Amino acid sequence: MKRLILLTILLIALVIPEVAAQNRKADKAFASFSAGEYFDAIDYFKTAYSKTKKADRNSRSELVFMIAECYRLTNDPKNAETWYRLAVKSAYSKPEAQYLLAESMKKNGKPQLAIDEFKKYKQIVPSDSRADQEIRSCELALEWLRNPEAYKVDEIKDINSKESDFSPAYGRDDFGLIYFTSSRDDAAGNKVHGATGQSYTDIFESRLDKKSKWSTPVPVEAINSEFEDGTPSFSSDYKELYFTRCEIGKRETKGCIIMYSRKSGDTWSEPKNIEILPDSLVAAHPALSPDGSTLYFVSDIAGGYGKKDIWKTTMERAGAWSKPVNLGPDINTPGDELFPYVRKDGTLYFSSDGLIGMGGLDIFKAKQQPDGSWIVQNMKPPINSFADDFGIAFENENERGIFSSTRKGKGNDELYAFELPPLKFSVTGLVKDEKTGTAIISSLVQLIASDGSNLQAETGNGGDFKFDLKADVDYIFLASKRGYLNGKEKTTTKGQEKSREFMVTILLTAFDKPIELPNILYDFGKWDLRPESMISLDKLVETLLDNPNVTIELMSHTDSRDTEEYNQDLSQKRAQSVVQYLIDKGIEADRLLAKGYGESSPKVVDTEIARQNPFLKSGTALTEQYINTLPNEEQKEIAHQINRRTEFKVLRTDYEPPKK
């Protein structure tokens, strides 16, 4: 992101290495580097390197490192990685070269390899916590890439040039006019900056035609100067414009100031310095709050938390701004915080390379809490990438707009449109036989929604069905088929932040045979229900509510140990206790019949019982005589336990519930 440097380059502290005094041919290179002319310095350092004797390994190592630094500061991570790798291999390598190698690899989209290099740096400088944060950033980047946000991002090819284009701002309430910063050939300043090899930036405008195509950008009249102009920000009525101007000369910096202009008709007034800081200091990247009372900006003035911080000032009277206030450590870090932007709801967007992110600069959003603190979130991919991502602008409350990025890998900034598509939800389901797992065709599936909607579908040859769903709604899918009890499944789109297709399987139970209720347990010789039994019975309550036209007989069975009379009485009491539980849960008494069978109806072994108990053969009735033939007591006890069961069978399917 070469053009960003021009607005943030000022007041860089640099200690000239000793090699400059030892090698006069390097003097020019270090002088250019000191002045921030990194693009020019690359060739100077390479010339000095080629003319330094191979025996002078220390000097050559230093020059290699400085070439890598120049590539880093001109935002060319690919070449930076190459030269940092050479620097690391040198016997005179600086520990910082290892760190910056890993950082370059991260920006080049190699997070896993970058983790390995950061770990090497930790071995060299174990006390530096930066490596731990960077490793965590790489790990999160890999995780985020596997599960990106739902935004759609597209390059705006109509506008982008071969030079830098960045920091857009909408200039009309229909969002058909944008202003942005560019170093393209049509810029007013005819000088080439030594930091980037590109022209000074100007503010350009482009308009959207009826075919949704952006016009060829042209410089904004009366705004641009021979210096660096950029990062426009409008008032909510689009009649006031704030922007940055940096007066940068040959090997000197004069500071950046925030300029103001007002529109009258189609003409902008002569821009004026709003004078929130002395001209020798950095005041850049203005962002006016929607109500016009607060101006956010970037500076490295004393009292901050790192390199460039985000500050704010409030309008005390017309044209007069208050003393700047730092936004604090929730927002600002030891790194750079740049390009603020404020939405109507007060959400602050900005870019940072000091918070955990994917690459160089990531875009973050921050919401201020009642106590004054901020909750900050990374916007994640695809808004963010391994490259620099910054300068975002929204179409008011809509989740779409434009931002800047260097993600194409050429080092130049380009504009990208983004949009969060409307959430889309659907459900694909299957209806199956609970016992056999086979698909049930031509079953009726009813969708019942919390918003009052009600739809029906019939399952196909594969037992499948599908519905489109709405956002923020609870759903019940009720399936029915003659000869089966109704079954249902639930899902909800509430709280879902991404489009999704839900999958459900509804199991239907055939009632041509008695249906066993699992885990209906009693103490020995007792008929009081144990707590474990209530889970199964609550499911039966739900089944009866889903099948309001069904009446059932509750069937309780015992084993053959004890007298027939005792077992008959015990089973009747147990069946009645189940019926009473269902009545207490609101099931009509005339839908329920309790009947104890004692030991008179031994269980017939089915395929599932035989699978779980290989010593039992499918189709065998577990009579007392058969159980006594089993070879050991453990097998006999299992057979008796299988006989002790509670079942129900459907008696009628035409019951009419009483009218409420």
Domain positions in the chain are 9-146, 152-419, 425-510, 515-652
The total of other beta-carbon atoms located within 10 Å of residue 162's CB is 12
- Quick one: CATH architecture of 425-510? Sandwich (2.60)
| Selection from 509, 640, 527, 502 nearest residue 579 by Cα | 527
| Selection from 645, 625, 545, 632 nearest residue 591 by Cα | 545
Residue 359: the pLDDT is 84
Supply the DSSP string of 218-231, one letter for each residue: EEPTTT--SSEEEE
For the chain, which residues score pLDDT lower than 70?
A: 1-24, 188-197, 248-254, 409-411, 660
Residues forming beta bridges with residue 375, ordered by sequence position: 367
Query: Residue 538, SS3?
Result: helix
The total of other beta-carbon atoms located within 10 Å of residue 659's CB is 4
d(CA 531, CA 534): 6
**Per CATH, which fold does 9-146 belong to?**
1.25.40
Q: Is 553 exposed, middle or buried (0-12, 13-18, 19+ CB in 10 A)?
A: middle
Q: Is 44 exposed, middle or buried (0-12, 13-18, 19+ CB in 10 A)?
A: buried
Would you say the CATH fold of 425-510 matches that of 9-146? no
Token digits of residue 355: 């918070």
| Selection from 143, 100, 96, 101 nearest residue 124 by Cα | 96
**Per CATH, which fold does 152-419 belong to?**
Neuraminidase (2.120.10)
CATH 3.30.1330.60: does it fit domain 515-652? yes
Phi, psi angle pair for 426, to nearest 5°:
-150, 165
d(CA 152, CA 417): 8
d(CA 328, CA 339): 16
Residue 522: the pLDDT is 76
Pairing relation of β-strands 515-517 and 487-492? unpaired
d(CA 133, CA 282): 28
Amino acid letter, residue 643? N
d(CA 560, CA 578): 21
Supply the DSSP string of 307-335, one letter for each residue: SSEEEEEEEEETTEEPPPEE--TTT--SS
Rg of the chain in Å (alpha carbons): 37
261 and 223 Cβ atoms separated by less than 8 Å: yes
Residue 146: the pLDDT is 94
Q: pLDDT tens-digit profile of 61-76?
A: 999 999 999 999 988 9
Quote the pTM value.
0.76
Buried b (16+ CB within 10 A) or exposed e, 274-304: bebbeeebbbbbbbbbeeeebbbbbbbbeeb
Residues 6+ apart with CB under 8 A from 135: 115, 118, 119
Q: pLDDT tens-digit profile of 269-316?
A: 999 999 999 877 899 999 999 999 999 999 999 999 989 999 999 998
